[in-house]
Structure 1
């Protein structure tokens, strides 16, 4: 690849940026420099049609420009883009989707400086079924953070994912990554599946839904639901385990995280029997969950040991981080329910994944549309 530089006569206005942004996203990266004013694109060849289209658009905008090919190591060199900005806005557009035209308009409305952008996924249209993932590097994190709720509203309206984080949280390094299990790594709530086999499925599922939305205290609602499983044949545990379905993208995500040396754990308010099954499927390093109490091959309606609730998840996250030598800033937590919120808030980066409304609104970061594999984009570590 080569780098094409466009020298500009002055600061690129947001009205100009709005015209250029769809083109710039198609390049591999774009850098904006103030002194001297310039736009630098990383493209595949010196005759890349992207650079030609950018040149044509600059002319249409009445901007005088001069293009030259520069060394691919020029400019920032090996220094990560995030070191030159305060905030990182990650945009993930589903396969077949288009870049929302309103996005540059919203950036303009916020009057934030766009320092650079980097395309994380293949060139749009290069591979069928491929999402479009782009990182925007912005200045002034303090003002960006105040607009997190607006981003969630816009993401819902456009059916895309827009995640905002301080640039420091994107540092590529070994991390401790903690996952909730039910409705995060797997596509069900196991306690609801057991309740269905006990003939109380609808009743328990309704309580589970309220607990995950934060309408009920998790610990008391957990005991209530467990009591309804009293007398269930223990053989049903194995039957439910045999039908577990991983969340789309879970296996691919863990494969990459493992190859990059991250330490992964399950911190679940579910049950360790199923957590160990998931561990064997996707090679999670460590699991913590509730242990079903069984007497004479029947569930007693209780669990052995301390219940893994919201506070217990936070304690375990801190204990594992200390034991494995991680700073809390190097931890990531992923979950979907209200009982995950304290863990998401404690971790260096908390990600609500396909979460309940309250969790989406409160969590530091939310992914609502893309699969689990797309968390690699949020982590700044695409495969």
Structure 2
């Protein structure tokens, strides 16, 4: 396992993985150099480079069998920085949409968000529209949203394990403080980067302060944190997200992962999680289940 071009292919199932079946199928496509069982749900196979047709065949097999797969260079597998989206990634909810719903505003907010996450309309414009709907409403609605937050399975174990192993963990979200602050603190993120509502007299003004004044703010932060820590973003970082606004950081990291991704991410990013939970990220990084911090 010393070749600079050697790949590690990680297979993860929701329940029990048939390791023998995976090894047998894989051997028909590519000679394997070695393997490692990460748990009864996960397996690593090491091999030399795989051509596009063989990769497609392998990914199609996994999709049909509801197995998540990650293919990456073995030598750069270990990372140092973890960046994660919040809404529909670390948590199940779209928190701004929930705010609008709790405010009793009659608008098809889910459709608006889906179009933005699929990259069909500008996210910046949809944020502006959605925040404007809240004008004059009580900021106490934020507490209702926080109380209803549902964390995605594996989120706590993921962060606890990464933090214990020295990763710099950042929650980078188009969501808003203090919701993002609560999520970040609960899960243990070392840093939270998010938008901020402008509130006066405990009421929403309909305006907000963005993460940065620039487009592709998540990628901007990725560049900044790597420069600050003198790290290579294409070797030392892992990012996860689900929508169009995550593409910049997903495509410019060492390992970009789409988590139950929208169509634009699924088409653009190779390594996705579509059947399992957030602990799969730990398997992708080479941790065995025994190494998880619970």
TM-score, normalising length from structure 2?
Answer: 0.90
Question: Would you say the 8 A contact 1:179–1:334 is kept in 2?
Answer: yes
Question: Would you say the 8 A contact 2:172–2:218 is kept in 1?
Answer: yes
Question: Would you say the 8 A contact 2:38–2:287 is kept in 1?
Answer: no
- Classify the secondary structure of the residue corresponding to 2:108: helix
- Answer yes or no: is 1:332 the counterpart of 2:238: yes
Question: Would you say the 8 A contact 2:17–2:42 is kept in 1?
Answer: no
- CA offsets, 1:335-383, max 9 Å, x none? 0111111110011111111111321221141111111112100011232
Question: Which residue of 23, 41, 45 maps to 1:136?
Answer: 45
Question: Would you say the 8 A contact 1:152–1:361 is kept in 2?
Answer: no
Question: Would you say the 8 A contact 1:290–1:308 is kept in 2?
Answer: no
**Could you say what the CA RMSD is over the residues aligned between the two structures, in angstroms?**
2.3
> Residue in 1 aligned with 2:37?
119
Question: Would you say the 8 A contact 1:82–1:88 is kept in 2?
Answer: no
In the TM superposition, residue 291 of structure 1 has moved relative to its aligned partner by 0.3
In structure 2, distance between residues paired with 1:90 and 1:308: 38
In structure 1, distance between residues paired with 2:101 and 2:249: 29
In the TM superposition, residue 310 of structure 1 has moved relative to its aligned partner by 6.2
In structure 2, relative to structure 1, the CA distance for the partners of 1:210 and 1:222 (3 Å cut) is same
Question: Would you say the 8 A contact 1:267–1:288 is kept in 2?
Answer: yes
> Residue in 2 aligned with 1:363?
269
Question: Which residue of 150, 154, 159 maps to 2:61?
Answer: 154
> Residue in 1 aligned with 2:112?
207
Question: Would you say the 8 A contact 2:194–2:211 is kept in 1?
Answer: no
In structure 2, distance between residues paired with 1:210 and 1:308: 23
In structure 2, relative to structure 1, the CA distance for the partners of 1:185 and 1:82 (3 Å cut) is farther
Structure 1 range deviating more: 99-108 or 244-253: 99-108
In structure 2, distance between residues paired with 1:103 and 1:207: 44
Question: Which residue of 144, 150, 159 maps to 1:245?
Answer: 150
Question: Would you say the 8 A contact 2:131–2:206 is kept in 1?
Answer: yes
> Residue in 2 aligned with 1:271?
176
- Answer yes or no: is 1:343 the counterpart of 2:249: yes
Runs of 4+ more than 2 Å apart:
81-85, 96-107, 145-156, 305-310
- Classify the secondary structure of the residue corresponding to 2:197: strand
Question: Would you say the 8 A contact 2:158–2:279 is kept in 1?
Answer: yes
In structure 2, relative to structure 1, the CA distance for the partners of 1:150 and 1:104 (3 Å cut) is same
TM-score, normalising length from structure 1?
Answer: 0.70
- CA offsets, 1:220-243, max 9 Å, x none? 122122222222210001221122
- CA offsets, 1:263-309, max 9 Å, x none? 00011011121111012112101111100111221112221245588
> Residue in 1 aligned with 2:24?
104
> Residue in 2 aligned with 1:236?
141
In structure 2, distance between residues paired with 1:351 and 1:302: 32
Question: Would you say the 8 A contact 2:8–2:73 is kept in 1?
Answer: yes
In structure 2, distance between residues paired with 1:165 and 1:207: 35
- Classify the secondary structure of the residue corresponding to 1:360: helix
- Classify the secondary structure of the residue corresponding to 2:216: helix
- CA offsets, 1:80-119, max 9 Å, x none? x4657611110112214545847734552x4x22111110
Q: How many residues align?
A: 288
- Classify the secondary structure of the residue corresponding to 2:279: helix
Question: Would you say the 8 A contact 2:241–2:258 is kept in 1?
Answer: yes
Unaligned runs of 5+ in 2: none
- Classify the secondary structure of the residue corresponding to 1:278: helix
In structure 1, distance between residues paired with 2:26 and 2:97: 42
In structure 1, distance between residues paired with 2:33 and 2:140: 58
In structure 2, relative to structure 1, the CA distance for the partners of 1:218 and 1:307 (3 Å cut) is farther
Unaligned runs of 5+ in 1: 1-80, 125-131
